[in-house]
Amino acid sequence: MTDLRPQPARAELTDLRADGAAALEWAARYLERVGELPVLAQVAPGDIRARLPKTAPEEPEPFADVLRDLDEILLPGVTHWQHPRYFAYFATSSSEPAILAELLAAALNSVAILWRTAPASTELEGVVLDWVADLLGLPAGWHVHIEDTASTSTFAACVAGREATGRDLIVCSEQAHSSVDKAARMLGMRLRKVPVDAEFRMRTDALGDLSDAAVMVATVGTTAVTAVDAVGVLADACAGSGTWLHVDAAYAGAAMVCPEFRWAFDGVDRADSLVVNAHKWMLTPTDCSLLWTSRPEDFRRAFSLIPEYLRTPDAEDALSLSEYGPALGRRFRALKLWAVLRCHGRSGLERHIRSGVELATRFERWVAEADGWELCAPRRFSVVCFRLQGEDERNRALLERVNASGEVFMSHCVLNGRYVLRLAIGQMSTTEDDVRRAWEVLVREAARL
């Protein structure tokens, strides 16, 4: 008779203990030396692909070969988000407890399609997110679950808002994240953009008629300048028109762990839904987007779809978090967040946020005091928007040169029609020396233009 079992001689090429130790050593060593690598990958499109085989291997290969190729082929094509001088977009850290928890989550391989397929994952998710709600000063008792990204969270909120109101218009400011445009496009909903004031906040005197608005998306910490919309005023307007209020605090929400930033959450307790990304400023690797709602039944009406083969007793069905969002299979993301909260504690998160803001404050001062440079928006948290006085072209060329140096990585935005540079601090290994180096590179490259 043919033996159909996997052939052990080849399967044993991976040894979890030995290869795991080597992988862990690789990770530890990587984190120790990442600061010496060029931040922005110094490769051209297609370079990495060209170095990889076109087909999968016919026979099993040892895991050691995977690690070798990670070093030799892939590493040159990595832009290092874990680098202390990563200052682009929103800098973020994957901290050690979360790295280890990701390994354990993959070992457990819980798939939370239903409460019964993953009771621990489902219940830990609720508990850990209640902890976060407490840390951020949110109302107790809101329903919460984890989505992959803020884009998905905002999409889901728009679905729930449309379901609850029966309307098809989304309203947001012209500084809202593009995920709102994308949600509107995917849902076939109309989108109205409200102009912003001099500080890039949604103009509350320009909201227009909201009587046909399904969803208003307010932003606490906009993508370009981290402006904070007046959520309380917008909550009043939404209450008057029966509009669903979704608050996008993907980046800045994490800062609410520090009481001195809570002013930015004024009125958030009146939102219908709120998204905060743990994978931006909360020491947790992507993906981990936290979506709260004060109206869980609307989410459930919008998303619940249980075919017979997934039916369980009602009391269990109600606990399945797949009932509240687009995905059926949900991975054990709460484990890494749990590890982060336990191993950093409230005090660790506070220190991380305060250090980012303090470093940004120093950088802002250097720019303000330097001839030929200008600040372009009020700084609220850890992002500074600035530029060389003069033409856009000089600023564009400057950013190219700075990023090509490999010493730092920054990004840009356009404000009032002008090209603006952004320095975003959020990596936990960033020190004052790193921020000073960024300033020195900017000044040096500006002189060479």
Ligand X SMILES: Cc1ncc(COP(=O)(O)O)c(C=O)c1O
Q: Which residues in this chain contact ligand X in the complex, by CB under 6 A?
A: 89-90, 149-151, 177, 179, 219, 221-223, 248, 250-251, 277, 289
Least distance in angstroms from the C-beta of 350 to ligand X: 22
Tokens of 138: 């949110």
Least distance in angstroms from the C-beta of 66 to ligand X: 27
DSSP 71: I
- What are the beta bridge partners of residue 423? 384
The nearer residue to ligand X, 155 or 419, going by C-beta atoms, is 155
| Length of the chain (residues) | 449
Q: What is the residue type of 9? A: A
Least distance in angstroms from the C-beta of 379 to ligand X: 16
The nearer residue to ligand X, 114 or 376, going by C-beta atoms, is 376
Least distance in angstroms from the C-beta of 153 to ligand X: 8
Least distance in angstroms from the C-beta of 251 to ligand X: 5
Q: What is the residue type of 154? A: T
The nearer residue to ligand X, 148 or 434, going by C-beta atoms, is 148
The nearer residue to ligand X, 317 or 379, going by C-beta atoms, is 379
The nearer residue to ligand X, 185 or 444, going by C-beta atoms, is 185
Instruction: Write phi, then psi, for 150 (nearest 5 degrees).
Output: -65, -30
Least distance in angstroms from the C-beta of 224 to ligand X: 9
Pairing of strands 213-219, 169-173: parallel
The nearer residue to ligand X, 87 or 251, going by C-beta atoms, is 251
Least distance in angstroms from the C-beta of 184 to ligand X: 14
List strands edge to edge, sheet with 213-219. Answer: 143-147, 289-293, 273-277, 244-248, 213-219, 169-173, 190-194
Distance between CA atoms of 134 and 142, rounded to whole angstroms?
Answer: 11
Least distance in angstroms from the C-beta of 133 to ligand X: 19
Distance between CA atoms of 218 and 249, rounded to whole angstroms?
Answer: 9
Q: Give the helix ranges, DSSP H, for 137-271.
A: 150-165, 178-187, 231-241
The nearer residue to ligand X, 376 or 446, going by C-beta atoms, is 376
The nearer residue to ligand X, 167 or 279, going by C-beta atoms, is 279
Query: Do 87 and 438 touch, CB atoms closer than 8 A?
Result: yes
Tokens of 238: 């939404």
- What are the beta bridge partners of residue 173? 194
Distance between CA atoms of 418 and 374, rounded to whole angstroms?
Answer: 12
Query: Do 87 and 360 touch, CB atoms closer than 8 A?
Result: no
